[in-house]
Amino acid sequence: MIDNEQVEYKLLLEAIHLKYGYDFRGYASGSLERRVRALLSKFRLNDFSELMQRLLKEPDFFRTILPHMTVGTSEMFRDPHFYKSMRAEIIPALRTFASLNVWVAGCSTGQEAYSLAIMLHEEGLLDRTVIFATDVNPAALKAAREGIFAADTIQLYTRNYVESGGAKTFSDYYTADYGYARMASYLKDNMVFSEHNLGTDGVFSEMNLVMCRNVLIYFDKDLQNRVLNLFRESLRFRGYLCLGSKENLRFSNQAYAFETIDARNKIYQKLSGNL
């Protein structure tokens, strides 16, 4: 039998969904519950019920806690071997299109979107590409739009860039300024930043490439399948899907719709536009 605390926790998630449209009910329960419990301590609340009452009455309070309920860790050119594989396996196919649509789903604070923009720039494809960078967290999207990262991360980003097969010098793409690095403005000229909830919102149609790396690991099986179906419907025929290092399609209900291009780097290609 489920105890009272768990009832209150489930009611809290239901209330968030009904009141604000953010659906956390399909998130992996252990990870999300730990983050919610941390909120109780942070805001000196006694239990889930008290948290629910406050967020229902105070929309500003909900906007304050929302960033704490999502996972926003990222880095530029994370898993450099993945970007090397993209250059070898995906870029040649993308060259055959006059225009390209790319969706970076769960973009967090934008590191992956800027990494992709740099790679496309070096391959001569950025000018013909629209990058849709989306996230459920408006605070993360604001940071992504600004494209400003702490200077102490640049050494790691530079190392990742070099190992990923970068064709230039990473410092070509940012300006150092008072302890921060500001990404070159032209990298986001063709970026569209928008809020999107993978649990409730719809497709981005005719995508050549969908990247959603290290997001599905925070969802339960049902929500993973829902999101993978969304990606399948968003991709054009023979479009590419890229997942994170600990994610795969093997046991999903969408496995039939994709061919594995690179098992290690979790790169897949949609098999048919009619599936």
Q: Which pTM does this prediction carry?
A: 0.85
For 23, 39, 113, 223, 248, the CA distances from 187, given in Å and listed in that order, are: 32, 36, 9, 32, 29
For 80-270, CATH number? 3.40.50.150
Spatial contact of 210 and 234, defined as CB atoms under 8 Å apart: yes
Predicted local distance difference test score (pLDDT) of residue 35: 86
Residues contacting residue 77 through CB under 8 Å, at least 6 positions apart: 83, 115, 157, 160, 161, 163, 164, 166
What are the structural domain ranges in the chain? 4-69, 80-270
Predicted local distance difference test score (pLDDT) of residue 22: 79
Q: What is the pLDDT along the chain (275 residues), one digit of tens a residue?
A: 567 888 888 899 889 888 887 788 887 777 788 888 988 988 998 889 999 999 899 988 888 888 788 766 689 999 999 999 999 999 999 999 999 999 999 999 999 999 999 999 999 999 999 999 999 988 899 999 999 999 999 999 999 999 999 999 999 999 998 889 999 999 999 999 999 999 889 899 999 999 999 889 888 888 999 999 999 999 999 999 999 988 989 889 999 999 999 999 999 999 975 54
